Amino acid sequence: MATKSCRVLVVDDDKDTAQTFAYILVHMGHEAAFLTDAHQVIEAAERTQPDIIFLDIGMPGMNGWEIAALLRKRYSHDGALRLVAISGRGDEDARIRSRQAGFDAHIQKPVEPDLVEAIIRQIFGK
pLDDT tier for residue 1 given thresholds of 50, 70 and 90: very low
CATH number of 7-124: 3.40.50.2300
Tell me what percent of the residues of the chain surpass a pLDDT of 90. Answer: 77
Domain spans of the chain, in order of start: 7-124
Mean pLDDT of the residues in the chain: 90
Short-list 91, 120, 5, 106, CA closest to 55: 106
pLDDT, one tens digit per residue, over 78-107 is: 668 999 999 988 899 999 999 999 999 999
Q: What is the pLDDT of residue 60?
A: 92
pLDDT, one tens digit per residue, over 46-85 is: 999 999 999 999 999 999 999 999 998 887 656 689 999 9
Short-list 20, 89, 27, 30, CA closest to 58: 89
Exposure of 31 by Cβ count < 10 A (0-12 exposed, 13-18 middle, 19+ buried)? middle
Q: What is the pTM of this model?
A: 0.92
C-alpha separations of 96 from 37, 53, 65 in Å: 25, 18, 11
